[in-house]
Structure 1
Amino acid sequence: MSGPLTSLWQASAAEDFAAPPLQGERSVDLAIVGGGYTGLSAALEAAGQGADVTLLEAETVGHGGSGRNVGLVNAGLWLPPDAVCKTLGQAAGEHLNTVLAGAPDLVFDLIETHNIACEPVRNGTLHLAHAPKGVAQLRERLAQMQARGAPVRLLEATEVATRTGTERFHGALHDPRAGTIQPLAYARGLARATAEQGARLHEQSPVTAATRHGGQWVIHTPGGKLRAKHLLMATNAYHIPAPPVRLPEMPVVQFYQLATEPLGDNLARDILAGGEGCWDTGLVMTSLRRDAAGRIILGGMGGDASAHANWAERKLTQLFPHLRGTEISHAWAGRIAMTGNHLPRIQRIGQGGYAIYGYSGRGIAPGTVFGRAAARALLSGQEDDLPVPVIDAHREAFAGLRTLYYETGARMVHLIAARG
């Protein structure tokens, strides 16, 4: 691989969207900062309720994690459901587990309702055991998920080899509720649908200040000003300070991906022929999927191209030796905001204001349901149906050091794997 490469999602998105910067002053019911899944889902819900909504995006819709991720629409979090209950308490934990179990339904319903051209495939995901010890982890997760009625199944290594096209994995947990999408196209499609519902969206409109004055939020951008009854900050790992609102510094993990050129059946017929998306049990997680054009897409923790590109190409060849020498046509990276317990947060930032962050690598389905729920709660004043309880403050200890720890760990794992 040589020369600068770009995001596959930018190159292949069938949905297009553009919006002008905010100019002038306006009063609205709800102002939303951030044009990712959370903000767009909130805007779509609020506009559908007849609210006057304006969404501000500092760059372009889907510029952050929403346009850079793997595109797996999962039912749940990295944490198994028992761990969610242990952290949040039984009642709150089971509520979140239930909400997220149904999250893929919402995503695929929105795609169908608004005719979003984002390559949706709902054939499930495979949580792959990267080593024999990974099978034990999957058995524990299987029992916890089946106890809650999830239609999941543990696959033996032989079936996994048939489904994936490689014998490198020792088992897998198949979740038929899940699926894959083209993630940037989904974000742009949500933006289009939101505008069609009457909301106003503005790109290239970074928020420079957000204050509470006279019973309203006053939000400033370089070109304009909003007065809003309610405010949702949905910026996650790409947050830009908007004083005096302060959000906690978050540990950040980079996630690197590469994509092959489109491969014909002679090379890729047996690789994920069923269209499942995959992620493994490794501490430094690896993802695997393919797109509608037949590209194989491999991802892994770590975002430094020079350190991780060599690992990714070697990893691809280890999994599929017959792909040695295949052209890598795209490579890109994005940031993941990681909370200490891997649970997302809804933080109160003032009267009528929330900030949502910390999806820890699970942004598509959780972001969609969290955004919709936040819009409903802000407009109604009722918080009982929010996915997690609202907190007034949050702190992540040693966020900068933990960011360095994550990146260093990923680099070391990849270097060791490259030598193996």
Structure 2
Amino acid sequence: MFYREPLQADLPDSLWAHSAAPAPLTPCLEGQHTSRIVVIGGGFTGLSTALHLAEEGAEVTLLEANDIGFGGSGRNVGLANAGLWTKPDDIEAVLGKPLAQRLYTALSKAPDLVYSLIERFGIQCEATRNGTLHLGHSRAGLRDLEERTRQLQQRGAPVELLSAAKTAEMTGSKAYHGAIFDPRAGTIQPLGYARGLATAALSLGARIFTRSPVTGLERASDGWVVSTPSGAIHAEKVVLATNAYSTDLWKSMDQTFTPLHFFQFATAPLDTDVLKQILPGNQGCWDTRDVMTSLRLDQSGRLILGSVGRFAGDTSSFLQNWASSHLRALFPDHYPRIVGNADGALWRYGWTGKIAYSDDHLPHLHLLAPDLITVIGYSGRGIGPGSVMGKAIADHLLGAPIEEMPLPVTDLRKMPFRHLLGEYYCRGSDLYHLYQRIFRL
């Protein structure tokens, strides 16, 4: 029932795969082709790049190794947020004030771009824009939210710090000390959004080939040759938009981030009277824990709970038990009805995906070679930033100076011991979940 890493290029059996609108029909690349621009990767960044290029009449071809949204985009929590996880002052400490302000300004408008694309192209993705809640799980977490609120409001963000009582009213849980409410944000069905971007790009003239993994990327005298098992494309420019699912296609680009896994479980649709108590405003949530937990509803009233970790062997049962225990701690008064509504099987779907976690928690823009560009390292926040960076890449390829992009160009920087760090975070999150179960924190 629950997802394991597939042996073939099939989408995980997630709630999103179950409920998303159908993907557009796309062929496998066969034979020899030419295209002005080739985009590698069918997630949010690649699809946004292809769509915005096609909208301006540019000849663009997108190659996806599996299916549209197969990677982190189609397994996302589905929170269309403004900004990054990182506090604005911390971004300034890394980039300096002028560059940080440019990035902050661009990403503060990310939900506007996401929801405008959804509206313009009629994308069926359960789009809801009722805001999000950043939940303070402890007194220390609340202090973090207070400082974050101060920094955001100082920059003009319309966020509000909620009391514990107001947070309980909006979530149905008394477990939190307060929350930041951000009215700019919302939730979407992420796989539906990815498929909708693909459909829109096709309608504008882009070409999309799926089940077409890139096996070779070679510099030619007048561009690039992008090879797949059954074909090749000669292109002037190439965009690598593979993020956490990057391989060693280009000089160990995958060595620049730590691979993290995030899992999610979803219930059956909850009863109407329970939905009046749990997240009645249908906001998407995440908390201030070191090992973050996410919480949201889908359009059918399924409760979706997620955290850091991955399924492997018996880990699925362990994580299901943790999720059940955590749900009971959050909603002790409603839990019996949630379980009773489940007909004996509380969790109907479970899936996991990879996150590209950068050491400074910021995405990075790289010019890998002449006419070869990439953005990598969203650290789990891919919907808004991926959409924004895709458009920015398209604007640059169409002539906008690279200095106007939201991110500065940096060199690839290998992250040492990345796989060890990934295992450390994975095992550490398991211990954290065990600790939570024992002490019900």
* TM class by smaller structure: over 0.9
Task: List per-residue Cα deviations over 1:352-372 (Å, max 9, x = no partner).
Answer: 111211000100000000011
Q: Does 1:4 align with 2:23?
A: no
Contact 1:30 1:52 in 2 (8 A): yes
Query: Would you say the 8 A contact 2:175–2:330 is kept in 1?
Result: yes
Structure 1 partner of 2:153: 146
Deviations 1:288-325 (A, max 9, x none): 00011011110011112243222112111211232342
Q: 1:70 maps to what in 2?
A: 77
1:60 and 1:154 mapped to 2: Cα distance? 40
1:317 pairs, out of 328, 332, 352, with 328
| Amino acid in the other structure paired with 1:356 | V
SS, match of residue 169 in structure 1: coil
Secondary structure at the counterpart of residue 160 of structure 1: helix
Q: Map 1:111-260 to 2 at 5 A.
A: 111-242=118-249, 246-260=253-267
* Structure 1 match to 2:348: 329
Structure 1 range deviating more: 396-405 or 336-345:
396-405
Task: Answer yes or no: is 1:382 the counterpart of 2:382.
Answer: no
* Contact 2:246–2:253 (CA under 8 A) maintained in structure 1: no
- How many residues of Structure 1 are paired with residues of Structure 2 in the alignment? 418
Aligned match of 2:287: 280
**SS at structure 2 position matched to 1:390:** coil
Cα distance between partner residues in 2 of 1:307 and 1:85: 40
TM-score, normalised via structure 1 length: 0.97
Aligned to 1:55: 62
List aligned pairs for 1:340-419, cutoff 5 A: 340-380=359-399, 382-419=401-438
Q: Which runs of 4+ in 1 moved over 3 A?
A: 243-247
Query: Matched residue of 2:374: which SS?
Result: strand
CA distance in 2, matches of 1:7, 1:58: 19
One-letter amino acid of the structure 2 residue matched with residue 308 of structure 1: L
Offset of residue 419 of structure 1? 1.1
Distance 2:428 2:36 in 1: 45
Cα deviation for residue 392 of structure 1 reads 3.0
Q: Is this contact kept in 2: 1:267–1:323, CA < 8 A?
A: no
Give the structure 2 partner of residue 40 of structure 1.
47
Identity of aligned residues (%): 46
CA distance in 1, matches of 2:267, 2:30: 42
Letter of the structure 1 residue corresponding to residue 394 of structure 2? A
Structure 2, gaps ≥5 residues long: 4-12
Distance 2:130 2:250 in 1: 44
Residue pair 1:18, 1:203 contacting (<8 A) in 2 also: no
**What RMSD over aligned residues (CA atoms) do the two structures have, in Å?**
1.3
Q: Secondary structure at the match of 2:244?
A: helix
Q: Which whole-Å CA distance do the structure 2 matches of 1:281 and 1:213 have between them?
A: 49
Letter aligned with residue 190 of structure 2: P
Gaps of 5+ in 1: none
Does the 8 A contact of 2:82 with 2:110 survive in 1? Answer: yes
Letter in 1 for 2:349: H
**Relative to structure 1, is the Cα distance of residues 243 and 138 closer, same or farther in structure 2, using a 3 angstrom cutoff?**
closer
Please, what TM-score do these two structures have when normalized by structure 2?
0.92
Letter in 2 for 1:382: P
Distance 1:17 1:241 in 2: 29
Task: State how far apart, in whole Å, the 2-side matches of 1:165 and 1:178 are.
Answer: 20
- SS of alignment partner, residue 313 of structure 1: helix
